[in-house]
Amino acid sequence: MNDLTTPSKTASQATRLDAIGGRFDPWLLGIACTLASLGVVMVGSASIGVADGLHVGPFYFLTRHLVFLAGGIVLAAWLMRTELKLIEQHNQWLLLVCFMLLLLVFVPGIGRSVNGARRWLNLGFSNFQAVEAVKLLYIVWLASYLKRYSEEVTATWSAMLKPLGVAVMLVVMLLLQPDFGSSSLLLAITAGMLVLGGVNMPRMFGPVLVGLPLLAIVAIAEPYRMRRITSFTDPFADPFGSGYQLANALMAIGRGEWLGVGLGASVQKLSYLPEAHTDFILAVIGEELGFAGICLVIALYGGLVGRALWLGLKCVEMRRHFAGYCAFGIALWIGLQSFVSIGVNLGLLPTKGLTLPLISSGGSSVLMTCAAIGLLLRVSYELDRAQRQVARLRGEAQQPSMGVPAMANPVPAVGAVSAARTSDAARGTSRLRQRVEPVLGRTG
């Protein structure tokens, strides 16, 4: 009788599990919304001087930022509703798209050069920086690779070197643009995801020991990169030349002191600080909101990255490796990029053209960072759904079968007790015959 009802019970159980939904992580959503809101306020404040110099209206860059932010929210909402297994199925196509995007920037009429760098795609109504999409697509591909070859990555050289080889090919294409900052970021994300994916650490030392000197050679090969490296050690030695950007950024931060000069009251943003609304927006935050504002920004990024790493760890513990590695990769991306951007503004790192995620103005960066947050939220949704399903299964496993209510001290039937004793004596019988079924009362 029990065997005949098992298929229908299993189907009913599957239906109940499918009906269980998840919840998006409120901390992740709250921190992302706070950073985006702060970005809107600061872009509006920092871009007024730049817009006035270009005679495009005081709110030109703010309006543009809001348009791309709205597009990013739509993209994030779409990813939040997309099953991760559907994304994982197309992982090979994502890698192909990465190479196609980086090749398109060199196609006449499609690729566009700005300030000597050929990094943008001409979309007609705006430019799109291809590498911003490549970061997210590459992370998704690498997460899928680490899931499919998790044992091989831990045990063999070839499985570990394959993603490194793919990363090197992407980096070569980025250096031809040239884009040294994104190249270094992509290599760091690859190394970090391999380590979190369980790669044998001694094997990583070889590629790292070879790669770091090569990156150093590439960095000093170009005179303008060498000037950036030397100028950040003492920007005031040449405040109107190679140290101009950092010198003005440090003056802005120093002027802000503890609590800032007030929102909108920055002086350095008025055509003194280059890229005040993009690369050096943290300097404007430091001037207008002071040391407290910078600490707030650092705390928000720390909370965002920490929460993403926590989600990734929980996913791996539940054997949802693809979701976990996606969370790890996005955490590394946002964490490393925000660290470099903050370090550049504070004079701790050489000047690089990396934006502050979700805060700096920039259509490509805003769009793809919002997409990354949407993917993270999807990871949190599916993790919460899986936890609820496991809790439901455990709860049903603890309930008695066939709808019979449990009793505090169930009394077995006399015949059942005899059968149990007989089976204990004869150890060759099956588990089914050893099972003792509870009844509602005494018999006989």
pLDDT of residue 12: 62
pTM value is: 0.86
pLDDT at 403 over 80: no
Q: At what angle do helices 244-256 and 281-317 cross, to 10 degrees?
A: 90
CA 367 to the chain's CA centroid: 13
Q: 364-392 pLDDT, tens per residue?
A: 999 999 999 999 999 999 999 999 988 88
Interval 107-129 mean pLDDT:
85
How confident is residue 10, by pLDDT bands cut at 50, 70 and 90?
low
Q: 62-102 pLDDT, tens per residue?
A: 999 999 999 999 999 999 999 999 999 988 899 999 999 99
Look at the block and give the residue holding tokens 């802000």: 256
Number of CB atoms found within 10 A of residue 434's CB: 14
Backbone angles phi, psi at 125, to 5 degrees: -85, -15
Runs of H (alpha helix) within 113-269: 130-148, 150-155, 157-175, 180-196, 201-221, 223-231, 244-256
Number of CB atoms found within 10 A of residue 137's CB: 19
pLDDT of residue 444: 35
CA distance 439 to 414: 10
pLDDT at 428 over 70: no
Interval 316-344 mean pLDDT:
96
pLDDT of residue 57: 85
pLDDT of residue 401: 44
CA distance 247 to 236: 6
CA 418 to the chain's CA centroid: 62
The answer to whether 286 and 266 are in contact (CB under 8 A) is no
CA distance 38 to 193: 29
Q: Is the dihedral of CA 325, 331, 337, 340 positive or negative?
A: negative
| Range with the poorest average pLDDT among 59-73, 107-121, 190-204 | 107-121
Interval 337-341 mean pLDDT:
96
